[in-house]
Amino acid sequence: MGRPRKVVSMSTGKVAKATKKQRAENEKALKVNTNELKAPDWLPDVAAVEFDRVVANAAQVGLLDNLDLSVLAIYADNYCRYIEASQQLAKKGHVTEAKSGYQMPSPWVSILNQSAKNIFTCSGKLGLAVTDRLKLIVPVKEEKEVNKFIKFLGTGSNGR
């Protein structure tokens, strides 16, 4: 199968100019609109507010498009669940008593942990964390400074 393909601007290998141009055109064709990035009706109010916040901030850098809608909705829904679980744990505590009288973790702990896991997974896919966005930055090749005195060295047969 080989290695996953890199974006043309991040490719460091030797690639013919025509191939680079064709790849760049193919990448432009993959761009999708952002007109459908609206919070779905089924999201709770807290989740819809988070959805809109992320869309507004991501628009500043062109980070999201219509194909990110479902992942963003899952992120926002889990964000809402995380907040609810945190509030419930603050009210009721992390430990509850079972019918048998034994102490056991509150079911809200499990909801909190699963929501956090889903938030991190979705945010990584969406590039919401700084470390994820840094992976999207194209490294700029620094131009090597040309020695201005090289012209005075000459290129005679003795290597000078």
**Residue 118: pLDDT above 70?**
yes
Is the backbone of residue 139 left (phi > 0), alpha (psi -120 to 50) or beta?
A: beta
At 160, the pLDDT band (50, 70, 90 cuts) reads: very low
pLDDT score of 47: 97
How many Cβ atoms from other residues are within 10 Å of residue 8's Cβ? 17
As a whole number, the mean pLDDT across the chain is 82
What are the extents of the domains in the chain?
16-137
pLDDT higher for 159 or 38? Answer: 38
pTM: 0.69
Q: What's the rounded mean pLDDT across residues 102-124?
A: 95
pLDDT score of 117: 98
Exposure class string for 65-93: b at 16+ Cβ within 10 A, else e = beebbebbbbbbbbbbbbbbbeebbeeee
Q: What is the pLDDT of residues 41-95, one digit of tens each?
A: 999 999 999 999 999 998 888 888 889 999 999 999 999 999 999 999 999 999 9
